[in-house]
Amino acid sequence: MAISKTESHVYPGNYDNVFRAVCDTAQAEAMTVSVADPGSGFVKMSSGANLATWGENLEVRLRAVAADAVEVTVTSALKFGLVDWGKNSTNVERVFRRLSERLAAPSGPTGSWQRDPSGRHQLRWWDGGRWTENVSDGGRPGVDAL
């Protein structure tokens, strides 16, 4: 058994929407996001330890392959250990399944990362209708109410 698993899928849609869906997927799967940098297309997340595993580190890379298509590559690797017992494959499948569900669901106005209008942070998430509390500085996500 491998100690990591990497797989890529191409999704139709706007880069910002796919990036946000990746971050939402991590939250929905109870994973902790430590880096979310829309500029470089990189998201780093981890799953927690439980009785079966010490947890895994996941890296997601996004790349626009056309104006309306984004390639998403997910890599899951063990935090500790030599045998993954299929856990990395399961993580990759879970991320892609949830991401596909999120992108297939009807959505409201298009959101995107923009310069923070308050000037307190590098970027702030615009959900298509209002500024949210979600911010990013140097690829590190955070929360700061306006």
- Same-domain pairing of 144 and 92: no
Question: Residue 89 corresponds to which tokens in the numbers above?
Answer: 């494959």
Compute the distance between CA of residue 45 and CA of residue 55 in angstroms, rounded to an integer. Answer: 11
Give the per-residue pLDDT at 53.
64
- Same-domain pairing of 11 and 39: yes
Give the per-residue pLDDT at 86.
77
What domain range is 136 assigned to? 113-146
- Same-domain pairing of 93 and 117: no
Amino acid at 80: F
Count: domains in the chain: 2
Strands (E), 13-144: 32-37, 42-46, 56-66, 69-78, 112-115, 123-126, 131-137, 140-143
Alpha-helical runs (H) found in 1-146: 15-28, 87-104
Per the DSSP assignment, residues forming a β-bridge with 66 are 69
Q: 80 versus 114: which is more confidently predicted? A: 114
Average pLDDT, the chain: 87
The pTM is what?
0.70
Statement: residue 44 has pLDDT above 60: yes
- Same-domain pairing of 31 and 103: yes
- Same-domain pairing of 92 and 120: no
Sorting pLDDT into bands at 50, 70 and 90, what band is 108?
A: low
Statement: residue 52 has pLDDT above 70: no
Q: 41 versus 128: which is more confidently predicted? A: 41
- Same-domain pairing of 38 and 66: yes
- Same-domain pairing of 96 and 76: yes
Compute the distance between CA of residue 143 and CA of residue 54 in angstroms, rounded to an integer. Answer: 28
Question: pLDDT, tens digit, for every residue of 57-106?
Answer: 999 999 999 989 999 999 998 877 766 677 889 999 999 999 999 998 76
For residue 50, give the CATH number of its domain: 3.30.530.50
Compute the distance between CA of residue 92 and CA of residue 95 in angstroms, rounded to an integer. Answer: 5
- Same-domain pairing of 94 and 138: no
